[in-house]
Amino acid sequence: MFERIIKRFSGVRILVLGDIMLDRFIWGDVSRISPEAPVPVVVVDQETFLLGGAANVVNNIHSLGGKASLCGVIGDDEMGQKVLQRLNEMGIERSGVSVEPGRQTTVKTRIIAHHQQLVRIDRETTQRPKVSTLRSLSDYLKRNIKSFDGVILSDYGKGLLTKGMIRNTIRTARDAKKFVMADPKIKNFFFYRGATVVTPNTGEASSASRISITDEASLDRAGRILLKRLRCDALVITRGEDGMAIFEPHQKPFLVPTEAKEVYDVTGAGDTVIGTMALALGAGASIRRAAELANHAAGIVVEKVGTATVDQEELTSVMKERFGLK
């Protein structure tokens, strides 16, 4: 069953609309403490650039064999050019990406030594894009929505996903009978009312429901409140080392235990979850099946260092091992 779904990923097309970022990694070694301050001295070995934010959701879909298009905004700066260059190298459709003069492309720089992150440095612009940019993105959505199986809204709180943009995207997709998945930030949480699937983490679900999630009873109360208020088909609360909890109308919560053996880095795990779920839904899986696949995919990426992805072969192998298939 799972293997058939994974094989169908190549026929699924997903539009990812959200905050585009670039993840910069500086890799090195530490052998001494600075004489200037009690901090480690990192001798740099290499520097790598990877797609981040909404672009990393696209990266995950691409890695799993699906077809993804990216819609969002970057600045007319060096880092914005690196984003476009990487998209070109991967053969990812980028006509929905707007370049806004004067805007700074969001960059997260992580300094890593001995497989451990020492510090993260963020450069970002969080104000909303210009009206002309928002209009251009909305026009792109309306012109192209019918060619996609579903839409992912990837909200990192960097200004693109305004209330108007969110509501317009959900309405446009629903009118075209396409599913909408949303990975929300707490500031915009209830703007996602009417999305097909909403995937907050435990902290976001606690804040939005005003219930401190500390056990299964509080998880159940929070999940039911949010499901009702969001009017979504499913609420998927990602719980880190505790796995996931899936809430659907008129059904008991479905708990999916974590699959990670060792957690090295959770960077981008949420992007893996929502990207895998979208592909599975587009391939005809139920929400529960899609969530199980996404949970296993996330279990693979958190065992890797950096903004990692998973491919079809890795996911198929893990699913076969999990269910004792040959």
What tokens does 173 get?
């997709």
From 23, 155, 265, 271, the catalytic residue: 271
Give the closest residue to 234 by CA, choosing from 171, 176, 286, 168: 286
86 contacts 70 by C-beta, under 8 angstroms: no
Phi and psi at residue 39, to the nearest 5°: -130, 150
Tell me the three state secondary structure of residue 275: helix
Catalytic residue status for 183:
no
Residue 270 Cα distances to 78, 87, 296, 298, 299, angstroms:
27, 20, 12, 8, 11
106 contacts 21 by C-beta, under 8 angstroms: yes
Please give the positions annotated as active site.
Answer: 271
